[in-house]
Every structure is written in C-alpha cells, then in structure tokens.
Structure 1
Amino acid sequence: MSRLDSMLRRLTAQRDGLNWAAAQIEAMDGDVLDLGLGNGRTYDHLREILPSRRIWVMDRVLQCHPNSTPPAEDFLQGEAEPMLLKLAEAGHTIALAHYDFGRGIKSDDVAEAARLSPLVKQVMCPGGLLISGQPLVGFTPIQGPETIAPDRYLFYRA
C-alpha cells in the first residue's frame, strides 16, 4: 500500500471513529481530550461534532492552522505528564479521549503510549471512550465501527 493510500485509510478511520465515539458518549457527562494537536484537523472535527463539549487540547507546541486554534484556556502546552496531572488535579473528567501523540517511530510511539496510559486513565470517566493510533494499556479494548480495520485504529473503554 502506498503511503498516500495508508494516510487516506488512517484519516478515514480517524474521522469514522470519532463520529462513532461522539454518538456513543451522547448521554455521558465529561469533557473531550485531544492528545496531540498537530495541524488541528482532529480538533476542528471534534468541535464540529461535539459543539456543546469542552475540548481540552494538549501538545508540546502550538503550531496548528489558524482556523484550528483552541481557546487559550483549553490548550495545555508542554510535556504530556505534567499536563495530564494538571487536568487530574483540577478534577476534570474526560468522556472521550483521542490519543494522537507520536513522532513516527513506531517503537518509540508505542513505548510513549504505554508510559502515558496510567496518566490518561486518571482523567477518564468510568466507561469513557478512547480512540488511539497506538496501543494503550490498562483499558478494555472494544470493537469500534465495523468500517474500520482492527489494525488501523484502536478503541478502548475506561
């Protein structure tokens, strides 16, 4: 599969997974957390499909498209560990988290996801959903939408 086809497959899975998860958490209380802002495409989609939810966004730097910039009070800039602890200590609970940290080196990205999983777990509502491109630990794997290949995106319940 070409890198272009792989990227299209990933983006389609991401969109379909987020749409599916948004419907799943409709009756659940809690905020949304986008771990890894990047260009801001996912954040932009989340605010469109979940307009009444507070969407926290976390990244090392703010370098997204100007139309996808989160409000300053919802953007947690810096390393993930202290930012996740800040959310937990403030008592914020997350109904839906999208984990999209990574630098593109699979072994490093998998190790980072495993290391951050316990901190992500601290902020999740019981029964909350996580969508991730990397395997997370300490969560219950669940079946996402049937349109998404099991190896393309991962779905978990807290």
Structure 2
Amino acid sequence: MSRLDSMLRRLTAQRDGLNWAADQVTDISGDVLDMGLGNGRTYDHLREILTDRRIWVIDRVLQCHPSCVPPEADFLQGEAEPMLNRLAQNDHQVALAHYDFGFGIKEKDVAEAARLSPTIASVMVPGGIIVSGQPLVGFTELDGPVGIPPGRYLFYRA
C-alpha cells in the first residue's frame, strides 16, 4: 500500500471513528477532549460535529492552522499529564476523548499511552468514549464502527 493510500485510510478511519463516537455519547453529559492538536484537523471536525459541547485541547505547542485555533480558555498548553491533572482538579468531566499524542516512535508512543491511561481515566465520565491511535490500558475496548480495519484506530469505554 502506498503511503498516500495508507494516509487516506488512516484519516477516513479517524473521521468515521469520531463520527461514531459522537453518536455514542449523545445521552452522556460532559465535555470533549482532543489530546494532540497538531495542525487542528481533528479539532475542527470535532467542533463541527459536537457544536453543543465544550472542546478542551491539550498540546505542547500551538502550531495549528489559523482557522483551527481553539479559544484561549480551552487550550491547555504543556505536557499531557499536568494538563490532564488540571482538568481533573477543576472537576471537568469528559464524555468523548480523542488521543493523538505521539513521538513517532511506536514503542515510545505505546509506553506513553499506557503511562497516561490512568490520568485520562481521571477526567472521563463513566461510559464515556475514547478514540485512540495508540493502545490504552484500564478501559473496556470496543469494536467501534464497521469498516475500520482492526488496529487502525482503537475505541474504548471509560
């Protein structure tokens, strides 16, 4: 598979997974959390499909497309663990989270996701959904939407 085809498959899976997850949380109160803003594509999609939810964003730096800059009050700039702890300490509860942190080294990315899993759990509403590009621990893994190849994206219930 070409890198272009692989990227298209990944982005399609991400979009379809986020749409599916949004449908799963319609009856669950709570905010949305985008972990890893990057250039802002996912954040932009989340604010389009979840117009009635507050969307928190965590990233080390703000370097997204100008049209995708989150409101200053909703952007938590810094390392993931302290920012997640800040959300938890302020009693913000998350119904839907998207995990997209990464260093680009698979072993390091998997270890970081496992390390952060308990802190992510501390902000999740019971029954909330997490869409993740990396395996997380301590959550109930879900099958997710039909059509997404196994392992392409991971889906969890808190």
When normalised by structure 1's length, the TM-score is: 0.99
- Alpha-carbon distance between aligned partners in 1 of 2:126 and 2:50, rounded to the nearest angstrom: 19
Indicate whether 1:67 and 2:44 are aligned: no
1:125 partnered with 2:118: no
SS at match of 1:48: helix
Any residues of structure 2 matched to 1:63-142 within 5 Å, and which? 63-142=63-142
Separation in 2, partners of 1:102, 1:5: 21
Partners in 2 of 1:78 and 1:135 — Cα distance? Answer: 22
Code of the aligned partner of 2:99? Y
For residue 63 of structure 1, report the CA deviation from its aligned partner. Answer: 0.2
Question: Aligned partners of 1:8, 1:107: CA distance in 2, in Å?
Answer: 23
Residue aligning to 1:157: 157
CA displacement, residues 84-131 of structure 1 (integer Å, 9 cap, x when unaligned): 000000000000000000121111100100010000000000000000
Identity among equivalent pairs (%): 75
CA distance in 1, matches of 2:64, 2:140: 32
Secondary structure at the aligned position of 1:97 is classed as strand
1:13-53 deviation digits (Å, cap 9, x = unpaired): 00000001111101110000000000000000000000000
TM-score by length of 2: 0.99
Match of 2:13 in 1: 13
- TM-aligned CA deviation for residue 4 of structure 1: 1.2
Q: Which residue of 2 aligns with 1:44?
A: 44
Aligned residues: 158
Deviating beyond 2 angstroms after TM superposition, the runs of 4 or more aligned structure 1 residues are none
How far apart are 1:3 and its partner, in Å?
1.4
What letter is aligned with 1:72?
E
Q: By how many angstroms is 1:150 displaced?
A: 1.3
Structure 2: distance between partners of 1:56 and 1:135: 21
- Cα distance between partner residues in 2 of 1:122 and 1:8: 33
- Structure 1 CA distance for aligned equivalents of residues 55 and 66 of structure 2: 17
Structure 1: where are the runs of 5+ without partners? none
Gaps spanning 5+ residues in structure 2: where? none
